């Protein structure tokens, strides 16, 4: 059976990054940069004061001490937003090379509207450069700021605004068609009857797709008939999506007609992966569109998304780093596995500074509660049957 790594490589190999588009800065949080960004100007753009205070030439303060207070005349008042450039050159603040904060002078409070004093007195030496932010010290013009493929975070938007970048080129959001299959499925607001369950996968998977900053095109629930599944797949084709994701209908008994449908209108690459949960997982292409058939069991569908679909969405959206990198955690209990690559639900607690994992009870693939209670999925590699207490394993933090 195909390993997780090989299955993921096969899936990823068919996807290319989407085209780019230019959007306004305010819309760009969570999007992926499609260009490198270099600073067009210095930050800060001009020398400025880090404090409310008096700009002086530091040499003028060389004899100031508690026993010999120094009094200087105040030649100009330079409020925030003005440059002070119109002052006489001989006395100009441009000649100043330091700022003494108001708190260190005899004029240590200023209420709104009060004029600046005519003289100011202080009792210490002011060092050259004190409280001056020099032009270009935060970021010199020309320096690379953010690279193509960068995931834009709120603080990035702040920096881009500092640089005066109002519009920005990002990759288009991938468009993902989502459908559920199964005669037993009812919409969440339909009353349950004998043998029926609510379609929960649509909700979890739609939210997962959105959490990867992709767009969901929700197609609804297909019955277990070839015609019903086909009509939803046709809708996906009409929507010109980047990927079709379905849940259920890929386990051994149910698989026949889905397999036949895919193969008669495209091709099937694989339909089983050596993992737990989530062995029945189909990958192929339907009328030219990539298709991933996730398992129906809610935990299997979730794990299948994290292991296979999220990396696809990252590749489509041009993201250069992983949104959920694995971390090392220590097993707080002995863990048994069946030799397939396993993804186990665990709670992580901090034990003397070490992240320590314990399983959240019943690991059945239909038990969504134990996933809800989990902080992480522990990854037990293929071939491992037992992990002793204290051993480190990789984990995907949820």
Q: N- to C-terminal Cα distance for the chain? A: 28
**Cis amide prior to 277 (ω within 30 degrees):** yes
C-beta closer to ligand AMP: residue 182 or 332: 182
If contact means CB under 5 to 8 A according to the sort of partner, which of ligand AMP, Mg ion, none does residue 247 touch?
ligand AMP
| Dihedrals phi, psi of 40, to nearest 5 degrees | -80, -20
If contact means CB under 5 to 8 A according to the sort of partner, which of ligand AMP, Mg ion, none does residue 297 touch?
ligand AMP
Q: Name the minimum Å distance from CB 201 to Mg ion.
A: 11
Q: Name the minimum Å distance from CB 361 to Mg ion.
A: 25
Q: For the chain, how long is the longest CA-to-CA vector?
A: 96
Name residues contacting ligand AMP, limited to 6-25 (CB under 6 A): none
List the one residue from 105, 180, 356, 360 that touches ligand AMP (CB under 6 A). Answer: 180
Number of Cβ within 10 Å of residue 246's Cβ equals 28
- 277 is a site residue for ligand AMP (CB under 6 A): no
List the one residue from 248, 250, 262, 329 that touches Mg ion (CB under 5 A). Answer: 248
Q: Name the minimum Å distance from CB 371 to Mg ion.
A: 20
- 247 is a site residue for ligand AMP (CB under 6 A): yes
Q: Is 51 helix (H, G, I), strand (E, B) or coil?
A: coil
Name residues contacting ligand AMP, limited to 199-238 (CB under 6 A): 199-202
- 197 is a site residue for ligand AMP (CB under 6 A): yes
Enumerate residues 6+ apart whose C-beta is below 8 A from 236: 177, 179, 217, 219, 244, 286, 289
C-beta closer to Mg ion: residue 28 or 246: 246
- 293 is a site residue for ligand AMP (CB under 6 A): no
Half-sphere exposure of 170 (CA within 13 A, CB side): 23
- 298 is a site residue for Mg ion (CB under 5 A): no
Q: What is the dihedral of CA 387, 393, 396, 398, to 10 degrees?
A: 70
Q: Which residue is nearest to ligand AMP (CB)?
A: 296
Rounded to 10°, the helix 255-264/226-238 angle is 40
């Amino acid at each position: 059976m195909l390993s997780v790594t090989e299955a993921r490589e096969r899936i990823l190999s068919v996807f290319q990054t989407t085209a780019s588009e230019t959007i306004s800065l305010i819309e760009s949080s969570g999007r992926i940069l499609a260009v490198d960004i270099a600073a067009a100007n210095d930050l800060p753009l001009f020398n400025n004061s880090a404090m409310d205070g008096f700009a002086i030439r530091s040499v003028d303060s060389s004899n100031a001490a508690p026993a010999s207070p120094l009094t200087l005349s105040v030649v100009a008042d330079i409020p925030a937003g003005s440059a002070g450039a119109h002052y006489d050159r001989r006395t100009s603040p441009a000649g100043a090379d330091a700022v003494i904060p108001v708190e260190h002078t005899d004029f240590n409070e200023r209420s709104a509207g009060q004029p600046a004093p005519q003289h100011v007195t202080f009792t210490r030496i002011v060092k050259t450069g004190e409280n001056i932010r020099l032009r270009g010290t935060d970021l010199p013009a020309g320096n690379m700021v953010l690279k193509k493929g960068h995931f834009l975070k709120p603080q990035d938007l702040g920096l881009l605004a500092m640089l005066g970048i109002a519009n920005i080129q990002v990759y288009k959001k991938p468009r993902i068609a989502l459908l559920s299959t199964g005669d037993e499925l009812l919409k969440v607001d339909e009353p349950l009857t004998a043998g029926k369950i609510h379609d929960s996968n649509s909700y979890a998977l739609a939210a997962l797709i959105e959490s990867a900053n992709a767009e969901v095109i929700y197609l609804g629930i297909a019955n277990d008939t070839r015609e019903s599944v086909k009509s939803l797949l046709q809708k996906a084709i009409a929507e010109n999506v980047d990927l079709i994701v379905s849940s259920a209908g890929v386990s051994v008994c149910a698989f026949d007609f889905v397999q036949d449908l895919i193969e008669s209108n495209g091709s099937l690459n694989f339909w089983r992966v050596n993992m737990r949960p989530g062995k029945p997982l189909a990958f192929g292409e339907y009328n030219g569109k990539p298709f991933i058939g996730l398992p129906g069991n809610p935990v299997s569908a979730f794990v299948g998304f994290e292991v296979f679909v999220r990396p696809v969405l990252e590749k489509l959206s041009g993201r250069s780093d992983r949104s959920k990198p694995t971390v090392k955690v220590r097993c707080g209990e002995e863990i048994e596995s069946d030799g397939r690559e396993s993804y186990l639900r665990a709670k992580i607690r901090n034990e003397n500074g070490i992240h320590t994992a314990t399983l959240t009870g019943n690991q059945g693939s239909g038990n969504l509660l134990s996933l809800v209670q989990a902080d992480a999925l522990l990854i037990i590699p293929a071939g491992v049957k037992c992990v002793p207490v204290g051993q480190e394993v990789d984990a995907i933090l949820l």
